[in-house]
Amino acid sequence: MEAPVCLCGSREFATLFTYHAPPAGEVRFDFGQAPYFRRVLRCENCGHFLSVHEIDMQALYGGHYVDATYGADGLKRAFDRIVALPEARSDNIGRVARVSEFGSRHFGKMLSAGVAPKVLDVGSGLCVFLYLLRKLTGWTCTALDPDPRAAVHARDVAGVNGVCADFMQASELGRFDLIAFNKVLEHVKDPVAMLKLSRAFLEPGGVVYIELPDGEAAAREGSGREEFFIDHHHVFSSRSIRILARDAQFEVLEVESLREPSGKFTLRAFVTARDGSAAR
């Protein structure tokens, strides 16, 4: 196995956790006959966390992720269940409130002129976020997901524009005022490349909203935390989320850590391209 390298460039790691079997609560993915063995490493320089293993996860998001997580026909049932959650138990209601509050300030001139910001949610999944955002704000929302069932679900159930595509290969998405990566970048091996690509789809003055698992907070509660489950290649620290933004040529406007109603430890940030950060 090639020696791991952190986002910050360091090769100095400490082994935080070692797993010989899936921890309780982790979705059971079908990896064939491969033995389950992996480690979570913590960077000695910036506190970033890497999941290191030799399990082939290449095809995970082509459809297996939806099947394993929601069941073959479970998108609508899961959507209905989450939409029905009371405010005090809903991560999405808090997420929408945060994005709406930030948008009311950042897009103030647009909104005053009666122009609705255009939003792209990358890796939209159940599309609860965009459903609630459109319902609350009336903004123009587009959901992008590599699974065709998720794109159909976005259109037919959530009532937003649904696009089935691999974001890293998409070329004609248009331009957006806000691009959201809600718990997405931790699932890819090169989150810098994915975040950097979003610049091509941002309107001048646009922003990217990022949510990532907070490894520093989760590590204090032990190896069973979902932030360290196998589908997360990366788990972030307060330093490494800023390194991610910097290396993707973004400027951090706001960043915060929180524990969501679901219990997830989360880092969330608003960033803007270094050459186009002025609010409109």
Residues of the chain above pLDDT 90, percent: 84
**Cα separation, 87 vs 260, whole angstroms:** 12
**Cα separation, 232 vs 213, whole angstroms:** 9
pLDDT > 90? residue 57: no
Return the DSSP state at 1.
-
Chain segment 78-100, per-residue pLDDT in tens: 999 999 999 999 999 999 999 99
Give domain 75-273's CATH superfamily.
Vaccinia Virus protein VP39 (3.40.50.150)
Return the DSSP state at 156.
I
The pTM (predicted TM-score) of the whole model is 0.92
pLDDT > 70? residue 221: yes
Chain segment 122-175, per-residue pLDDT in tens: 999 999 999 999 999 999 999 999 999 999 999 999 999 999 999 999 988 999
What mean pLDDT do residues 1-6 have? 86
What mean pLDDT do residues 219-225 have? 97
Using a 10 angstrom Cβ sphere, with 0-12 exposed, 13-18 middle and 19 or more buried, the burial of residue 50 is buried
- DSSP-assigned letters across all residues of 35-80: ---EEEEEETTT--EEEEE----TTGGGTHHHHHHH-TT-HHHHHH
Report the DSSP beta bridge partners of residue 51.
Answer: 40
What mean pLDDT do residues 30-40 have? 81
Q: Is 4 left (phi over 0), alpha (psi -120 to 50) or beta?
A: beta
Side chain identity at residue 210, one-letter code: I
Q: What does the mean pLDDT of the chain come to?
A: 92
Using a 10 angstrom Cβ sphere, with 0-12 exposed, 13-18 middle and 19 or more buried, the burial of residue 83 is middle
What mean pLDDT do residues 4-10 have? 97
Domain boundaries, the chain: 75-273
